[in-house]
Amino acid sequence: MREDYRQVLDRSQVYVLTVDEDIAGVLVLSQEAGELLLENIAVMPRYKGQGIGKMLMLFCEDYARRARCTAIRLYTHERMTENIDIYKKQGYLETHRATENGFARVFMRKSL
């Protein structure tokens, strides 16, 4: 998935988490019809296992509540079973599966 991040910056809210001026993670969000779409969450490999992903997810939920969103939606590749398990533990429910742009995706949603 190779996005043109100039376009992403124009259409979405992008947040970068740093540790001592080093990029540790990124979060890309957009609002759609009263819900928040978590477009992308990424943690740099050297920061995995340090709670960065959880911090980003908590920030996402706080952001959604402040924006008065009723839910957060996301999708991931069906092969990302570890991520799917993490999202389920965070309260996300699988809504459906579909192939989009050649990717087998799992769509999830968390009501707020």
Domain of 23?
5-111
What is the total count of domains within the chain?
1
How many residues are given for the chain?
Answer: 112
Q: Is the pLDDT of residue 6 over 70?
A: no
**Average pLDDT over all residues of the chain:** 92
Q: For 50, left (φ over 0), alpha (ψ -120 to 50), or beta?
A: alpha
Contact 29, 39 (CB under 8 A): yes
Per-residue pLDDT at 38: 97
Per-residue pLDDT at 4: 65
Q: How far apart are CA 23 and CA 109, in angstroms?
A: 27
User: Could you tell me the pLDDT band of residue 3, with boundaries at 50, 70 and 90?
Assistant: low
Q: Which residues of 24-50 are buried (b: 16+ CB within 10 A; e: fewer)?
A: bbbbbbeeeeebbbbbbbebeeebeee
The pLDDT tens digits for 21-58 are 999 999 999 998 899 999 999 999 999 999 999 999 99
Per-residue pLDDT at 54: 93
Looking up residue 107, the CATH number of its domain turns out to be: 3.40.630.30
Q: How far apart are CA 36 and CA 62, in angstroms?
A: 11
Q: How far apart are CA 64 and CA 57, in angstroms?
A: 11
